[in-house]
Each structure stands twice: as C-alpha cells, then as structure tokens.
Amino acid sequence: MTFISPAPGRRPPRRSRWLRTAAAATAVIALAAPAPAAFAAVDDAPDETVTATLAPGAGGVVPASGDLTLTLTADNPGPDAVPAGAATVGIGSDPLVSTAAIASWLDSGSTGASFDDVGEIAMPEVASEQSASAALTIDAGDAPIDDLDPGVYPVRAVYGTGEDSLRARTVLVVPDTGAPARQIGVVVPITAGPQSTGVLSSEQLSELTAEGGDLREQVDAVTGTPAILAVDPAITASIRALGSAAPADAVAWLDDLIALPNDRFALQYGDADLAAQIGAGEASPLRPVSFAAYLDPTNFGAPVVDGEATPTPTPTPEEPTLPTLEELFDVGADRDSVFWPATGTAGAETVAALGAVTGGDDAPVTLLPSSVVRSDAGAHAVSADTDLLLYDAGLSRLLEDASATDADTARGALLAEFTARAAVGDLADPLLVTVDRSNGRSQAALRGAIDAATGLPGWTATDLDGLLAAPATAVDVDSVPADQDRVAVIDGFRAAQGGLQRISGVLDDPTLLTSSVRATELQLLGNAWLDDREGWDAAIQAQRERIATWTDGVALVLGGPITLAGTSAPLVFTVRNDLPWPARVDLLASPGDARLVIESTTEVEIGAQQTSRVAIPVSALVGSGESSVDLQLRTPSGVEIGRSETVEVSVRAEWESVALVILIVLVSALLVFGVVRTVRRRKRMPVAP
C-alpha cells in the first residue's frame, strides 16, 4: 500500500511531557497551610511561587547498613532572592499501608502519624530564577530509622527562613528481607524520535550515535542492566543500508547494540502506530517490502584495506551483494511477532487483529497497559486466544516521568514514589513495567529509572520467556477507538496508491519509488510524533506535496501550435522528469487525420530531475492545411501516464517549393553578378606592350 495524506483534522493535543512531569513533581511538594506570604500562591503571579522538592537516594530504599541521603532542592522563579535557612527533616512513626495512603500523603500531607526529627538541612540563599540544593546524610543504623519495621514511611522537610516556611514531602521504603523473591520485567524502547524521511541520513546517524547523542545515551543507559529492549528496526536498517559509507560512530553503536546480552524484540518500522493501521482496515501491520531506494551498490563492493580495494581472485568483477530485508532489519531478537502499541492507543479491536497475524515463527504477543483490562490479572494474560503481556500503567507512568526529568531531586522523588507504590501494592507475580517512549532523555535519567525498576527490593529481573511462562489469566480488553486523524491520513495514503503504481512503471526498478514512499510514510506514522502535533501536521503536508509531485513526475511540456514548413520534417517535443531517478517512457504520436504520416512510437530516456527533447519524423501528404497530432506517454509495459494531449499542426508544404525557387534565383543572381564583375575588372586591366 502507498499513501498520501488529506489535510488532517484537529483534535485536543496530548498533554506535553513537561506538564506530566510537573504534575508528578507536584505530588511530591506542597505548601504549608496556611501559607506564609513569601511562599503563598499569588493569583496574578503563580509562576513566581517558590517550591521545594525532597528526595531520598537509592530510589527511596533504606539501606540495610550505611548512609541514607535526603536531598532538598528549592526552586526560586521569582525576582527576589530567598534568604538562607534551615530545613528540619522528620520521619513518620507509622507506615503508609496502601497506595491511596501514599497518594494522600504526597498530594496533601494527610497522615495521622507523628514525626521524629532526624536532622537539619542548611539551605543556602537561593538567587532569583535559580535553584539550590543541600543534603542530609543519616546513618541507617541510627534511631529512629533502625527501629522501623518493613514498610513505607512518610518523610517531610520544613524549610524555614525567618517567619516563612515551606514543606516538602517524600517517602522511604524499609524492605522486607524475609519476603519470597518475585519476578519483574522492564521494557525499554530504543527509538530515534520523530522522523519525516524513510531512513535516517548519514548526518543524523552521526549526531545521534556520537557521544552525547540520543541513541548513544539510550544504549549506554541499558548496558549492564537486565532491561528488555524494544528496538526500532529503522535505525539498524538505516546504518546497514549505508554499507561502507556508514559513519564510524553509527557502526560502533550498532555493534554495541547487537553485542548486548539483553532480551529484545523489534518494534514496527519507524515505531509506526499499530492501532491507527488496524483502525484504517489493515489486516496486519504494514512493513517495507523493499529497500531498493536506499541501497547504493557502490557501498557494497570489495573491502578497502590501506586505501586500496582488496584484489579479486578473478579478472571479471562481480556484482556486489546487497543486504536482504531480514539482514537490514535484524535487531538481534530471539522472538518475533511481539507488538507494542503506544500506551493508550490500542484496545480490543487492535488486540484481535494483531492476534490473527500469521507468518512469524512465534505466536503473536501484544503489550498493553493494565488500564485497558478489566481485571487484576498478572503480566501474562489471554484474550480470545491472543497472548497479552500487561504492564502496570501507574508504575510505568512514574518511570516514564522520572526518565524524562533531568533534575536529580525531582527524579529521585518520582522514583521513591515508584518504589513505595510497588512495596504496598497488591502486585501480581511476575510484574511487567515499562520505561515508556520519550524523546531526548539523558543517560542518567533513563538509567536511574531502569535501576529503580530492576532493583526493587524482593524482585528479580526476568525476560520475555519468563513472563510468558507464567500461567495466563483470561481477561476482557476495553474498546479503544483509533485516532481518527491518523486513520484519515492512512486513508489518504491509500488513495494515492494507484497513481504511484502507474508512475513507478517508468523506472527500471519500480521499487525505487514504492520503497521510498512506504518507508517514509511508516516513519510519519511513528509514535514519536504523538507529542508534536504541529510538527506532524507540517510533515504530513510536506509528504502530500512530495507525492503529488511524484504522481505527476513524468509528463509532456507543450508549447503552442506547430507549423510544418515542408513535406517532411521532425516535430520536437519536451518531456520532463521530476523524479529523483532516471526514467524511460514511450511517446506515442498519432495524426489527427490522413494528411500526416507519423512514426507512432518513440522511446525516450530522461535523467533524474531533468528534461529531454524528442524528435518525431512527420511527412505531409498535402501542400497545406490544418491538422493535429495526438500525444500520449506510456510506460515500457504499456501503462498510460497522464492524459492524452493534442497539438495543432499547420502544414505549409508549398513553402518548401517557394523557398527553393527563391534560393535558385538568389544563387543565379550571385553567379551573374560575379561573372559581370569579373569581365569588367578584366577590361580595366592595362594591356602589356
């Protein structure tokens, strides 16, 4: 299938990443009630409110021995500096026994527990529009921490500066070392962000895989962890398709990825939106059927050593061996047919369609959030004979927000909440969580989220096989309508299929065009665009214009009427090629009546994005008159391209005789003139004595 997009409709945009992070951070910090004037929320200047965040180290887990660190960070967005002060830290004596109790404490500070002070944090002055942090280190063996039973405990810091004060809240987890170990799987995506072209360019790959690039940060973050990787095969294909021209950093990155021992599976090409494809009527997910547009045979010749090509054993050069689709898309997965729709986009309809996909070596498995399943099932579930892996939606959301938060203290507060909710929640064994898709996150933030998930006290990491080995629970999956804007785009893509198939026939290899279009449109359906609606609209419009250009990529360029001044002469026409590849067409010409005799078919070759002039021999059977020529472009296989064109021809064959008489008269006159001049010159010459 090939695509072209209509103008997409509007829908409310998704909540931006910073809003979700801000909401999560708000769950950790709150103002004292009543709030003093210096820290109170002001209706007309809410952005100038000073806030404080408190976070423990190690994901909120109290170590069995050693030090426990609590960090307090104050953010001052206002114009005036906040003076230095002291923050008193206290730990509740009674545990929080449910997720509701944890939420109540973090949201509003509601708890019936008394607090024991464990120390003070000396906070420095916080300059205008700046942040400042300070930490308190406590020996975990000291009272009252050493006296706490296993559980989740509230922690607060009262930050005072004179008469002003601010409260920040977090939680600590005292692990139960005697509880039986349980299993947890952590899925982490490896993606390149939103793309508007079929492959990542060499320049993009260089930037993304170099030190500090997004892809390098992701691979470094998962290295040494037991995370389950969900890899976009468009990345591996983009690198391998460059062959010997691939950037050194990209080649090293790919080698590092493949060498990782982590369990993994492949996402759809470009991490394309599965739910939208199913919602548009596709029986199975779309995928590239060729990569011809991106493979340059010159990059797959003999290996180069010391600047010279390795000699071949025979004098006859061999055709380079191009990689297959399987080789291009290989991400090192041991299991195929694993599908992970973007969180919140897929429901029962998508599950049923994906469960019926055939052609893989393994039975289809679909990852879904627990929020669309009406039961308390474990990680492994089944719906109408379709295998599901259910990840905890609430815990995964905390991990995603933490992985997208660069502020260490705010991230630590989110991870502490994650650990606390996991400790008191009635969680199934095995448990599945995700560090969901996000663009531009740092290695430290992503690694912190992975470590918090895989390092939960009393849990050991497992892989896909371990999750699927658990007994499956039968569940009912809620219906989730597909995004109609994306469905409309796919419908528009499909409508362009006929025109693109016709025009591709002018190429020696029609898959050059179809492979380019398919890969690009799958990238445009990527889930990374869900957080950038404005950018997505612009990218879809650009693709629509590109396809419109290509659909009419080869055509005649006609001028006005033509005058045929003679009984036979060539008629010259121009054919343009707007495609980025050379084209070959047949130009069919037929006379409008019997007064003209025309060579019917002429083969035309046009270079990429060039024009070519073609001459068609024509003979006239009359002296003069008005006639016409009908023109039609066809592919070498006979498929018509565009509509038939008619050119008016004025035949003036008698002009040829007139021109000949005039030419004879002129030549004769010149001869007579020459003779006369010569005779007169001779008469004037002197006679010798």
pLDDT digits (tens, 9 = 90+) for 51-99: 999 999 999 999 988 899 999 999 999 898 988 889 999 999 999 999 9
pLDDT score, position 625: 74
Element (H, E) at 88: strand 85-92
Query: How far apart, in whole angstroms, are the C-alpha atoms of residue 464 and residue 386?
Result: 16
φ/ψ region of 369 (left if φ > 0, alpha if ψ in -120 to 50, else beta) reads: beta
Place of tokens 């493979």: 295
643 shares a domain with 567:
yes
List the beta strands (DSSP E) in 148-195.
151-161, 164-174, 182-190
682 shares a domain with 547:
no
pLDDT score, position 34: 35
Q: Which residues pair with 596 in a beta bridge?
A: 620
The residue range of the domain holding 545 is 484-551
pLDDT score, position 428: 87
294 in a structural domain: no
24 in a structural domain: yes
495 shares a domain with 533:
yes
561 shares a domain with 543:
no
Number of folded domains that form the chain: 4
104 shares a domain with 28:
yes
User: CB within 8 A of 429, min separation 6: which ones?
Assistant: 182, 183, 378, 470
User: CB within 8 A of 393, min separation 6: which ones?
Assistant: 343, 369, 370, 371
pLDDT score, position 144: 86
546 shares a domain with 640:
no
pLDDT score, position 112: 81
32 shares a domain with 164:
yes
Contact in structure between 347 and 384 (CB atoms under 8 Å): no
Pairing of strands 380-383, 365-369: unpaired
pLDDT score, position 161: 64
pLDDT score, position 626: 82
Contact in structure between 391 and 187 (CB atoms under 8 Å): yes
Query: How far apart, in whole angstroms, are the C-alpha atoms of residue 17 and residue 14?
Result: 9
User: CB within 8 A of 665, min separation 6: which ones?
Assistant: none
170 shares a domain with 26:
yes
Here the CATH number for the domain that contains residue 141 is: 2.60.40.10
Query: How far apart, in whole angstroms, are the C-alpha atoms of residue 570 and residue 277?
Result: 53
Last residue of a domain, one of 531, 551, 571: 551
Cα dist. 241→181, 238, 296, 305, 353 in Å?
45, 5, 8, 21, 31
663 in a structural domain: yes
pLDDT along the chain (689 residues), means of 10: 38 40 39 33 56 94 92 92 91 94 93 90 93 94 88 93 80 91 96 97 98 97 98 98 98 98 98 97 94 95 51 60 96 95 96 92 95 88 94 97 96 98 92 96 97 95 96 95 96 94 95 96 97 96 96 90 75 93 94 80 94 88 77 94 88 56 69 75 63
Tell me the whole-structure pTM to 2 decimals.
0.85
DSSP, res 447: H
44 in a structural domain: yes
Query: How far apart, in whole angstroms, are the C-alpha atoms of residue 329 and residue 315?
Result: 34
List the beta strands (DSSP E) in 251-375.
264-266, 304-305, 308-309, 338-339, 365-369
576 shares a domain with 505:
no
672 shares a domain with 559:
no
Last residue of a domain, one of 551, 581, 596: 551
pLDDT score, position 687: 58
404 in a structural domain: no
Query: How far apart, in whole angstroms, are the C-alpha atoms of residue 15 and residue 21?
Result: 10
Element (H, E) at 488: helix 484-495
Q: Closest by alpha carbon to 403, among 423, 421, 418?
A: 418
Q: Reduced to 3 states, what is the DSSP secondary structure of residue 136?
A: strand
Helix locations, 389-436, DSSP H: 393-403, 408-424
424 in a structural domain: no
The two tokens of residue 581 are 């590849």
566 in a structural domain: yes
Q: Closest by alpha carbon to 368, among 282, 271, 475?
A: 475
pLDDT score, position 330: 97
518 shares a domain with 507:
yes
Last residue of a domain, one of 523, 551, 579: 551
pLDDT score, position 45: 44
Cα dist. 637→328, 505, 603, 633 in Å?
31, 7, 12, 11
Q: Closest by alpha carbon to 650, among 631, 622, 616?
A: 622
154 shares a domain with 31:
yes
